[in-house]
Amino acid sequence: MTQQLKVDGETRIFPIVGHPIEQVKSPASLSGIMADRGFNGMVVPIDILPEDLPGWLAQAGAMRNVDGIIVTVPHKVSCLAFCARVSARAKASGAVNIMIRDGNEWIGDATDGHGYLDGIAAEGFDVSGKPALLVGAGGAGSAIAYEILARGASELALHDIDTAKRDALLARLNEAFPGKARAGSTDPRGFALVANATPLGMREGDPLPVQTEFLTSEQFVADVVTRPAVPPLIAAARAAGCGTMPGSGMFNAQAVLLAELLMGVRSIEA
């Protein structure tokens, strides 16, 4: 049971920055974990346009009661440049989703892939030795791509409409995992894991990220979208008899990790 939040002059503030920000569900959950641990902290959503991000980060750095920042769409790639040091997985993915203060500097990590694959594992699917298709080479997609290969996928096909972004990520992945990553498409046939790391499905009328008419019950389908609770891709996959994980599974799997990083219980290896 979540304890009552304590808010006073000693409260540590942890912004979660993105645009848009209405879809995030983590502030209450992460603040609740802190309260349950007896830690005086609060996660607060902040809506910042991309062009305003540098100025806002400078102000956040000047706030002495801000010990960490959670980063969401579309700032994960941009925030990497503001970190003095980053973890190996953040470097390989080219993005961060959490920044922890170290004096006057920030240390960055990318835990989205960790949460995504842990959420998939919680549903009984293991990607080791299996081929995977991932749609989306942005900040979350980059971290997820790295983790898919780190957990032993036989190959990763990556699709993104921004081919320059896709190819840059493929180059980083093949440096870390030689010969394991290649360009893919929206055709899911032949893949054991079909994964979406784009916002498609968040807004009504969005196109589906893959050709769902080709899905079969032997495949596992995962999504990053948290709102609606059952995104269109997941609804289509369930109709085809697939095992599934919606975005809430990814968040739930990494919530404790994020909270412990913010509280200083864990540290980022950078």
Q: From residue 212, how far is each of 2, 98, 126, 183, 195 by CA, in Å?
A: 39, 33, 21, 19, 12
Q: Which candidate in 76, 91, 130, 165 is catalytic?
A: 76
Tokens of 156: 């990763």
- How would DSSP label each residue in 65-90? TB-EEEE-TT-HHHHHTT-SEE-HHH
Tokens of 196: 């979406």
Residue 76 appears among annotated catalytic residues: yes
Supply the angle between the helices 139-150 and 112-122 in degrees, to the nearest 10: 60
- How would DSSP label each residue in 166-190? HHHHHHHHHHHSTT-EEE--S--TT
| C-alpha of 92 from chain center | 14
Which residues are marked as active site?
A: 76
